[in-house]
Structure 1
Amino acid sequence: MTELKDQLSLLGRKTEYKQDYAPEVLEAFDNKHPENDYWVRFNCPEFTSLCPITGQPDFAEIRISYIPDIKMVESKSLKLYLFSFRSHGAFHEDCVNIIMKDLITLMNPKYIEVTGIFTPRGGISIYPYANYGRPGTKFEQMAEHRLMNRE
């Protein structure tokens, strides 16, 4: 297992905010308990992106929950990554799916789900949800069950 300080480059340094979608800022570190199945949850109540048609800002709370395997996402890099959507034009559903896919690429978690709770625009709220469970495992079945039983 490599040293934590060798895996992360953002902690303890001056924060540089990207002006557009920047998946390259995401960093991962080794999970010290890969033999355990446990939840890691993040809540970002100040997420913003832009409507790709009008350029108007969209505001949301993004909730990310995952069951890690070997790698975990580092929280400062996640914050900077989510902040990079601020000037990015994408529909609500796209944002949620892009976030989930980028985190799967980064960590290869056992299970992950991402929910966007977007504030109303034109009198309509949109709450997209996306999830993934590792194929061929109990987590694939879990993902299907959780998706089919959403409210």
Structure 2
Amino acid sequence: MKSDTKDLTLLGNQNNKYVYDYDPSILETFENQHKDNDYFVKFNVPEFTSLCPITGQPDFATIYISYMPDVRMVESKSLKLYLFSFRNHGGFHEDCVNLIMKDLIELMDPKYIEVWGKFTPRGGISIDPYCNYGKPGTVYEEMAKQRLFQHDMYPERVDNR
């Protein structure tokens, strides 16, 4: 996992190497230029795919990643290539979402992060796992508890799946 802007190898590189097996080492970071501010960065990933670990059938989802950076931020092209690496990963929906969050925590050590997967139905049912994390011993830890407890209290109308 890279750490300095000068060490970014993917941004601007026209020779992308797509990895088809789960690989968190693709992720790169850069320094947060606004460490004195609390703010959210949100990624919407409408074309996420992985494989069912039992049947090998493809699973499709929109993944939402929202985080409050501390010192380091994830570089978006590396995130895109990392998420692409799930294409042949055999993992249940819940596993994929938690794995993404844990990899990003290890990479960035954010103040707060949440990852929500909205998977398209298979067998007549959709699964939408949500996980979050707040840095221990900070107000963000309490924020994570509150957001988790209130998560999806007013779910959106699902008419597009």
TM-score by length of 2: 0.91
CA separation of 1:17/1:38 partners in 2, compared to 1, >3 Å: closer, same or farther?
Answer: same
Gaps of 5+ in 1: none
Q: Residue 29 of structure 2 aligns with which residue? A: 28
SS in 2 for 1:127: coil
Q: How does 1:20-59 map to 2 (within 5 A)?
A: 20-59=21-60
Residues 43 and 64 in structure 2, CA contact (< 8 A), matched pair in contact too: yes
Q: How does 1:1-150 map to 2 (within 5 A)?
A: 4=5, 6-13=6-13, 14-150=15-151
Over aligned residue pairs, what C-alpha RMSD do you find? Answer: 1.0
d(CA) in 2 for partners of 1:75 and 1:107? 13
d(CA) in 2 for partners of 1:141 and 1:68? 17
d(CA) in 2 for partners of 1:69 and 1:127? 27
SS in 2 for 1:93: helix
Look up the equivalent residue of 2:102 and give its one-letter code. Answer: K
Q: Deviations over 1:66-106 (max 9, x none)?
A: 00000000000000000000011000000000000000000
Deviation at residue 45 of structure 1 after TM alignment: 0.1
d(CA) in 1 for partners of 2:148 and 2:118? 16
d(CA) in 2 for partners of 1:109 and 1:23? 17
Gaps of 5+ in 2: 153-161
Deviation at residue 11 of structure 1 after TM alignment: 1.2
* Count of matched residue pairs: 149
TM-score by length of 1: 0.96
Q: Percent of pairs identical after alignment? A: 68
SS in 2 for 1:147: helix
- 4+ residue runs of structure 1 moved beyond 3 angstroms? none
